[in-house]
Every structure is written in C-alpha cells, then in structure tokens.
Amino acid sequence: MNVPETYQRCILNTARRSLVLARGEGAKVWDADGREYLDLGGGIAVNCLGHAHPDMLRALSEQAGRLIHTSNFYYSEPAARLAERLVGFMGGSGKIFFTNSGAESNECILKVARKAGNATGRYEIITALNSFHGRTFAGIAATGQEKMKQGFEPMLPGFVHVPYNDLAAVEAALTPRTIAVMIEGIQGEGGITPASAEYLLGLRKLTRERGMLLLFDAVQCGHFRTGCYQSYMRTLEGVSGGGDFRPDALSMAKSLGGGFPMGAAWISDEFAPLMGPGSHNTTYGGGPLAGAAGNVVLDVIERDGLVANIRARGEQLLTGLRPLIGRSGIVAVRGFGGMIGVVFEDERAGDVVKKLAEAGLVLVAAGTKVIRFLPPLNVTAAEIDRGLEIFSGAV
Ligand SMILES: Cc1ncc(COP(=O)(O)O)c(C=O)c1O
C-alpha cells in the first residue's frame, strides 16, 4: 500500500505529515523502509516511556485480557488507583475527572469555571496570547492564536487574551464578569516559553483576591516532563511562598498515558462539588485500559528514577545547545527538563525539522520559529549526545 497516497484519498488533510513510521523501541523509530531514526520528539510530549516499553506492553495486554471497557456506569479498580495517585501528587486533596484527550480535559476545567460564575453572571476567562488549549470549540476560543479560530466564527463567547508573563495585562483585562485565568505553565505549541515565578505567584494572589479561579493547562508541560510532577513545582522550587502554590483546577493528558490516549482534570476540593451527577461525562474516560496505562507509567517513572533522569538529560541538552546560539540563525534556547525549545530568528522551523529527519533525528516544530526537544523521560545520556551531534550537524 502507498500510505501517503491513501491518506490523500481517504483521510482529512488537516496535518502536514512526513515519515511513514512502522515500529519503535525506546527512543528509536523505524520507517516503512527499515530506516532508523532517533525520536526525541516523543510523539509531541506523549511517549514518556519511549516506544514499546515492556512494562507498558505487559500492563496493557494483561488488562485487555481481563476487561477493556465498561462505561461510566461502573466502578473500575485501575482508575481508582490512578486517581488516588494523582490526587496524592496534588497534595492529597481535590478530585479527578478522567477524559480521553487534552482538549477534553480543558473542556472540563472550563466548565468548572463557568459553573462557578454562573449564579453571579461571571463567565469571562482570561487566557494568554500564543497559548494553545486544543481544537474543540472551547479549546479554540481559549487559544490565544487567531489562526486556530479562522473560519470557525462565531467563537464561544467570554474569552479574552492578554500577553503571557504579564501580570499587569491580566489586571487591566479584568471586568466584573471575569471568573478565571487560564495559563500553561510552559507554553508548548507557542514556542516553549516558561512562566516566571513572579507571574505564577502574582496570578495566584490576584485570582484569590478577586474570587476567581486559576486554571492550569498542564497537558504538555505536566506529568514529570520538567523534572517535577507539575512545571510550576519546578519553577517555584526554592522560591519564597512557592510551596503553597496550587491552582484551582488543572488539565492533563499526553504523558499521563504514555501513548495510550487519555486525559484527566484535577479540581480542588473547593470547586469539585460544583460538578455533581449529570453535570459532565464521557463514555470512555477512566476506562480499565486507560487506568492500567496511567498506573504503569507512574510505576516505571518511580521504579526507574526517571524524574532525576529527565532533569539531568535536560541539563545535558541545554549545555549542548547553548553554544549554538548566534550560529545558524539560532537566537535562544529555553525550557528545562524534557521540554527544551531552540528558537530561530526566522520562520525556518518546518524546514529544519525536515532536514533533521533526513539526518535521522525526529523533532517537533512549535509554530514557525521554534523546534522542540520532547524526549521520553527514560532517554539515555548517549541518546541525547547523539541527538545533539545530529542537530548541530544539520543546522
Ligand atoms: C497545552 C496543550 N493543551 C491542550 C492540548 C490539546 O491536547 P489534545 O491534542 O490531546 O486534545 C495540547 C496539545 O498539544 C497542548 O499542548
């Protein structure tokens, strides 16, 4: 079969695709012709254990042999165990709602904010320019990028976008109708831009003072990718007042399932009671197979010390990439842990990604000027060295 030709005929042309990938193992993938590539793009920050991890295979096949799907009418032990662990990471409070994707996780936390403001007529939600929150109608309305909205107007009302990392801009955008602020801890699709500690603490203080919710989209930057459970935990490490920081609701997906399509929303104890029976649901969310995937991801992260590993690999990447600043149109290198962006002065990210693939390295563009390293959390030092070698050779 000619796969690209069949895509042209039978699949909506909504993405620019290149390689026909046939198989993977760890941080390596092979195309249909058997050519090997080093995959440090991680399926856009999803494959946190790499490809074909033996523990993942075992957990999925064992669970599939017992029970794949039950629907939300029934209890499921794997989901209960996973929810307990996620609540534990959030300090032992709050509640989880399981979903099937990042966009759906955002739908949930946005609905929580709408519900919180409903009685008082507050529905506006401030988000950041350059953000990305998914492709559903609420997702594109929340996303601070005009190109995602074009052709789908009218947008879901009530979203206001202001510059990222700019607390004064949020204050200036407040109206009596504002109910929430929603940000990514590190803007991913927007180009790997981390929130500053002052911005995070300032937003928390402001939203508390005004009776508003602080919503976190942690779909890409969460789940240990930065070397902490959440990126804000890493950003606020050692910062005075940082230990008490917690948003009111948070969305997850990507690394949560290590490649199994699943997401989740965490909602604080203050707001969780708003979402009672009938308020929200999904047929697949929190199914037994998804629960098994989420649990095995955490088991391996904990057993194999992957938090320490991804911190060290992030440092290794930064050390290797920084000397390239000022060469080949590279103007900045930013991010930390397993979320590093290389910023070019002009719109060449797409071309460079193509050239890197030709050289045997799979990476992901973020917009037109930034290339992202989003490696598996178990990537080795030797693989990072090899990636740096191919990268600097190709650019
Ligand atoms: C920050 C952020 N939010 C939401 C999404 C949407 O997630 P999904 O594609 O799983 O719907 C993404 C996807 O890239 C993302 O990076």
DSSP string, 307-351: HHHHHHHHHHHHHHHGGGTTSTTEEEEEEETTEEEEEESSS-HHH
Q: Is the pLDDT of residue 16 over 90?
A: no
pLDDT of residue 183: 98
205 Cβ contact partners less than 8 Å away, ≥ 6 residues apart: none
C-alpha 212 – ligand 1 centre gap (Å): 24
Residue nearest ligand 1's atom 8 by CA: 102
Q: How far apart are CA 23 and CA 376, in angstroms?
A: 16
Query: For 20-31, what is the mean pLDDT?
Result: 98
CATH class, domain 3-52+305-394, is alpha beta
C-alpha 261 – ligand 1 centre gap (Å): 12
Among 148, 220, 284, name the best residue to mutate to test ligand 1's pocket (greatest count of ligand atoms within 8 A of Cβ).
Answer: 220
Of all residues in the chain, the percent with pLDDT exceeding 90 is 98
- pLDDT, one tens digit per residue, over 157-185 is 999 999 999 999 999 999 999 999 999 99
pLDDT of residue 267: 98
Query: For 365-385, what is the mean pLDDT?
Result: 97
Among 133, 183, 230, name the best residue to mutate to test ligand 1's pocket (greatest count of ligand atoms within 8 A of Cβ).
Answer: 133
Average pLDDT over the chain, rounded to whole?
A: 97
The number of the ligand 1 atom at minimal distance from the alpha carbon of 106 is 4
C-alpha 132 – ligand 1 centre gap (Å): 7
The number of the ligand 1 atom at minimal distance from the alpha carbon of 189 is 16
Among 44, 219, 284, name the best residue to mutate to test ligand 1's pocket (greatest count of ligand atoms within 8 A of Cβ).
Answer: 219
pLDDT of residue 317: 98
- pLDDT, one tens digit per residue, over 259-310 is 999 999 999 999 999 999 999 999 999 999 999 999 999 999 999 999 999 9
The number of the ligand 1 atom at minimal distance from the alpha carbon of 263 is 10
Where do the structural domains in the chain lie, given as residue ranges?
A: 3-52+305-394, 56-303
Cα dihedral 115→117→121→122 (10° resolution): -130
pLDDT of residue 249: 98
Residues with CB under 6 A from ligand 1: 44, 101-103, 106, 132-134, 184, 188-189, 217, 219-220, 253
Q: How far apart are CA 30 and CA 39, in angstroms?
A: 10
**Other beta carbons less than 10 A from residue 327's beta carbon:** 9
Q: What angle do CA 296, 300, 303 make, to 5 degrees?
A: 130
What are the backbone dihedrals phi and psi of residue 374, each rounded to the nearest 5 degrees, phi first? -130, 65
Q: How far apart are CA 90 and CA 273, in angstroms?
A: 17
C-alpha 135 – ligand 1 centre gap (Å): 8
Query: For 343-370, what is the mean pLDDT?
Result: 96
- pLDDT, one tens digit per residue, over 211-238 is 999 999 999 999 999 999 999 999 999 9
The number of the ligand 1 atom at minimal distance from the alpha carbon of 101 is 10
Q: How far apart are CA 373 and CA 24, in angstroms?
A: 18
- pLDDT, one tens digit per residue, over 151-160 is 999 999 999 9
| E-assigned strand segments in the chain | 21-25, 28-31, 36-39, 95-99, 124-128, 159-162, 178-184, 186-187, 193-194, 213-217, 249-252, 263-267, 330-336, 339-344, 361-362, 364-366, 370-373
Q: How far apart are CA 82 and CA 101, in angstroms?
A: 16
C-alpha 192 – ligand 1 centre gap (Å): 14
The number of the ligand 1 atom at minimal distance from the alpha carbon of 131 is 1
Q: How far apart are CA 1 and CA 176, in angstroms?
A: 59
CATH class, domain 56-303, is alpha beta
246 Cβ contact partners less than 8 Å away, ≥ 6 residues apart: 90, 91, 268
Q: Is the pLDDT of residue 109 over 90?
A: yes
Q: How far apart are CA 195 and CA 188, in angstroms?
A: 11
- pLDDT, one tens digit per residue, over 37-57 is 999 999 999 999 999 999 999
**Amino acid letter, residue 373:** F
Cα dihedral 128→132→135→137 (10° resolution): -10
The model's confidence at residue 121, banded by pLDDT at 50, 70 and 90, is very high
Q: How far apart are CA 236 and CA 233, in angstroms?
A: 5
- pLDDT, one tens digit per residue, over 78-89 is 999 999 999 999
C-alpha 184 – ligand 1 centre gap (Å): 10
Q: How far apart are CA 296 and CA 293, in angstroms?
A: 5
pLDDT of residue 248: 98
The number of the ligand 1 atom at minimal distance from the alpha carbon of 221 is 1
Task: Write out the two tokens for 284.
Answer: 């697949």
C-alpha 201 – ligand 1 centre gap (Å): 24
pLDDT of residue 11: 95
